[in-house]
Homo-oligomer: A and B are copies of this chain.
Amino acid sequence: MEFFVNTKRKQELANITNRVEEAVRKSSVENGICVVYVPHATAGIIVNENYDPSVCEDIVDAMEKLIPIRAGYRHDAIDSNAHAHIKASIIGPGKTIPIENGKLKLGTWQGIALAEFDGPRERTVIVKVIKG
């Protein structure tokens, strides 16, 4: 299962919880795991609080403070998005979430976000559900 997300800003966390939950429902898998994966090298998947949207902005700002858009990266001579590759490498392209009774075992405060560090872009999200 796949779906698309259009990000709007240069760096952004886009909430995809509902769409992943929908994919899990459609799979009809009662128990197992769900792998949420982005096949892109400037994006990643974050599982964290999505009740207060300011957490998403704090995460983007903190990542930007650690790995600024400009810092003399080698790759910027070719394609000026080295910072986004580094951020995406730290966040990781996917997360694996347990499924029980047909539902993701997300905590009360956990949501799933696509983190894009070189947007705006249209991105593919792959959801793979494994029985077990």
Residues of A that sit less than 8 Å from B by CB: 32-33, 35, 37-41, 46-49, 52, 54-55, 57-59, 61-62, 66-67, 71, 73-75, 77-79, 82, 85-86, 88-98, 105-110, 124, 126, 128-132
* Shortest distance from the beta carbon of A105 to any chain B beta carbon, whole Å: 6
Q: Quick one: closest B residue to A1, CB to CB? A: B98
Given the known interface contacts A97-B94, A110-B39, A126-B105, the answer about A78 and B54 at a Cβ–Cβ threshold of 8 Å is yes
A37 touches B98 (CB 8 A): yes
Contact partner, A132, options B37, B57, B106, B129, Cβ 8 Å: B129
Contact partner, A89, options B91, B94, B132, Cβ 8 Å: B91
> 7 nearest interchain CB pairs?
A39-B107, A130-B132, A54-B74, A41-B49, A41-B109, A98-B128, A58-B73
A46 touches B89 (CB 8 A): yes
B35 touches A98 (CB 8 A): yes
A96 touches B57 (CB 8 A): no
Contacts of A52 in B (CB 8 A): 75, 78-79
* Complex Cα gap A80–B82 (Å): 30
A96 touches B59 (CB 8 A): no
* Complex Cα gap A35–B59 (Å): 25
Given the known interface contacts A59-B85, A79-B52, A82-B58, the answer about A110 and B93 at a Cβ–Cβ threshold of 8 Å is yes
